[in-house]
Amino acid sequence: MTTVDQPRAAAHVTHEVVNQPPPLVNYDLYEHDVPLREGVAREGAAWAEEKLHAIGRRAGTEEAIRWGFEANENPPVLHTHDRYGYRIDEVSFHPAWHQLMAAATGYGLHASPWRDPKLGAHVARAAGFYLWSQVEAGHGCPISMTHAAVPALRAQPEIAAEWEPRLTSLEYDFGLRPASEKRGVLCGMAMTEKQGGSDVRANTTRADPIGSGGPGGEYLLTGHKWFCSAPMCDVFLTLAQAKGGLTCFVMPRVLPDGTRNAIRLQRLKDKLGNRSNASSEIELDGAWARMVGPEGRGVPTIIEMVNYTRLDCIIGAAALLRQALAQAIHHAAHRRAFGKDLIDQPLMQNVLADLALESEAATTLMLRVAGACDRAAGDEREAHLKRLGTAVAKYWVCKRAPVFTAEALECLGGNGYVEESIMPRLYREAPLNSIWEGSGNVNCLDVLRALAREPAALEAYFAEIAPAAGQNAHLAAAVADLQRQFASREEMEMQARRVVERLALIWQGALLVQHAPSFVSDAFCAARLGGAGGLAFGTLPQSADVAAIVNRARLAIS
């Protein structure tokens, strides 16, 4: 048989990669976040810059980013029994989780304001938590709870004296052993019960005294907790019904003699996001605990912990916004469409600028609330702003995360919808901070209660806003309208979300007017307060200097 040579087509490379952005790695997250750096200096924590640069550089490394992916691709596993049938109630984690935890504790993100309580300590810690949370959010849960537990434990000084040195150690020492044998410990929280949810006063867990009981005394707790976050922590703050009413207790995971406390892990929650973190359902079968604070005053005692975990919800949401924005800008800067880089396309510029305004406003308000935490002890006005601002910012900043993240994901198009881009993980994480530590409704009602009980809090708020109001017409009109609304003193509960939204937006606008470039504050106030923006991102008015806004957010990450 004779073969005939067929003509060959010209060589054509089918898998050449073009028009794709390079990986966003090996950059300093702190250096490239202008609003964060400006806010840290303004709020009194410039002394922490060297450490924040160190955290920012590490957060941008390929290694740290890989830890975040691995910890979520390999979620925790519950082991209720060993091979012989004995209960062990343990949760195992991927090594990447432990790397993230060791870094967070080593940086003192769980303890630094209590270890070195100087001016700016809460701001410095907030900035560090914000930076490191951009690597991976789930491990921030036990870090946050450990940080927040210290002021609650101080309601019982002898218990605080025992636990605080352990909780503030910079050593990460995983495993269930007596706390006295560990180089450092972590604290969790178990409040929610299936029949009550946010209504913790409906809790049914029972506390029976051993001996006389009372503050600092010993009790046995029996009941069920619907959500117990981070069940491998060494100690927990929880609520139970004592004879005198709902009371706060501290409950170790392992007893001093080395036996395990009667805390049974029923299951781990299969969650939408936050996959790296173990959230459990537990049963207390006569678990040993000690009373913290007065009997019947459980909510006022544990609220010290809740307020600081709420602050971390604000920080975590602001961090998520920033990471999503960074990914969107980086992609747009390296992707061409219709003859131009995406970042130079007018409509994409409007979208990115609108996202950048939202991110900067969230970061600025977050740092302001953290600053109030630093100054609250010696300043009544700051104390009011801490109390009010935590609930206001918790509602609004966290509420903005899902819609923001969806828009940032869309900036990447189909590339943003695949797991390798990190955007799906951010999107799944986005609703979390609005739900945990009091949902949106709970925080809005908390704002109304605070204003009703402490009228001076509203005075402090308007005094905070006053210096900026005269510098922007949209802001001035919004302030006047809000003052009229409060002057009427009509029933506000049904309108609580609208009221708190305005409180947040006006405060953000005032902060930007005072501290951000005019092209930022003018665009924010026009769009958010003056009605010149639409309901979706990317609807800034023609007057907005979108190129300048994007450039401020962009810097060298692109």
Q: What is the CATH number of the domain that holds 542?
A: 1.20.140.10
Find the mean pLDDT for residues 135-142. Answer: 98
Tell me the sheet residues that pair with 247: 240
The residue among 297, 331, 356 that closes a domain is: 297
Residues 293 and 306 in one domain: no
Looking at the domain assignment, is residue 17 inside a domain?
no
pLDDT classification of 492: cutoffs 50, 70, 90: confident
Question: Which residue's structure tokens are 């979520």?
Answer: 72
Summarize pLDDT for 411-438 with one digit per residue, the tens. Answer: 999 999 999 999 999 999 999 999 999 9
| DSSP per residue, 248-298 | EEEEESB-TTSPBPSEEEEEE---SS-TTS-EEEEEEEEEEEEEESSTT-H
Question: Which residue, 297, 317, 349, sits at the end of a domain?
Answer: 297
Neighbouring-strand partners of residue 240: 247
Q: Label each residue of 540-553 as H, E or C.
A: CCCCCCHHHHHHHH
- What is the percentage of the chain residues whose pLDDT exceeds 90? 90
Q: Is the dihedral of CA 422, 423, 427, 428 positive or negative?
A: negative
Residues 285 and 221 sit within 8 Å (Cβ to Cβ): no
Considering only 50-54, 227-231, 368-372, which range has the smallest mean pLDDT? 227-231
Residues 273 and 322 in one domain: no
Same-domain pairing of 361 and 330: yes
Average pLDDT over residues 368-372: 98
The backbone torsions φ and ψ at residue 549, rounded to the nearest 5 degrees and listed phi first, read -65, -45
With 60 as the cut, is the pLDDT of residue 522 above it?
yes
Model confidence at 1: pLDDT above 60: no
In angstroms, the CA 336 to CA 342 distance is 5
Q: Is residue 308 part of a domain?
A: yes
Domain C-terminal end among 297, 321, 354: 297
**pLDDT attached to residue 41:** 98
In a domain, 179, yes or no: no
Mean pLDDT of 31-44: 98
Mean pLDDT within 280-287: 97
- Indicate whether 4 belongs to any domain: no
10 belongs to a structural domain: no
320 in the same domain as 293 = no
Q: Which of 356, 277, 419, 374 is nearest to 545 (CA)?
A: 356
Please say whether the beta carbons of 400 and 317 come within 8 A.
Answer: yes
CATH number of the structural domain spanning residue 207: 2.40.110.20
- Average pLDDT value for residue range 329-342: 94
Residue 202 has a pLDDT of 83
Q: Domain check: are 202 and 59 in the same one?
A: no
**148-150-156-158 Cα dihedral, nearest 10 degrees:** 160
Q: Does 472 lie in the same domain as 358?
A: yes
Report pLDDT digits (tens) over 83-134. Answer: 999 999 999 999 999 999 999 999 999 999 999 999 999 999 999 999 999 9
- Same domain for 236 and 119: no
State mean pLDDT over 244-260.
Answer: 97
- The pLDDT of residue 392 is 98
Domain co-membership, 80 together with 97: yes
Does any domain span residue 192?
Answer: yes
Q: Residue 24 domain-assigned?
A: no
The closest of 387, 390, 417 to 405, measured between CA atoms, is 417
Give the integer Cα–Cα distance in Å for 90 and 429.
Answer: 25
pLDDT of 491 reads 77
pLDDT band at 373 (very low <50, low <70, confident <90, very high): very high
CB-based contact 12:35 (threshold 8 Å) = no
In terms of domains, do 214 and 149 share one? Answer: no
| Integer angstrom CA distances of residue 6 from 9, 12, 353, 529 | 9, 17, 56, 71
Shared domain check, 428 and 314:
yes
Mean pLDDT of 265-291: 97
pLDDT in tens, 293-316: 999 999 999 998 999 999 999 999
- Say if residues 255 and 288 touch (Cβ distance below 8 Å): yes
Q: In total, how many domains does the chain have? A: 3
pLDDT of residue 557: 60
φ/ψ of 500, rounded to 5, equals: -70, -35
Same domain, 274 and 327: no
Q: Do 310 and 263 fall into the same domain?
A: no
Residue 490 lies in a domain: yes
Report the pLDDT value the prediction gives residue 195, as an integer from 0 to 100: 84
Work out the mean pLDDT of the chain and round it to a whole number.
95
Alpha helix stretches (DSSP H) within 454-540: 455-469, 473-488, 496-515, 518-524
CB 273 within 8 A of CB 431: yes
Residue 199 pLDDT:
80
Rounded-to-integer distance, Cα 432 and Cα 34, Å:
26
Domain holding 126, by residue range, is 34-167
Does residue 2 have a pLDDT over 60? no
Would you say residue 24 has pLDDT above 90? yes
**Residue type at 345?**
Q
Query: Cα–Cα distance between 83 and 464 in angstroms, integer?
Result: 61
For residue 459, pLDDT over 90 is answered with yes
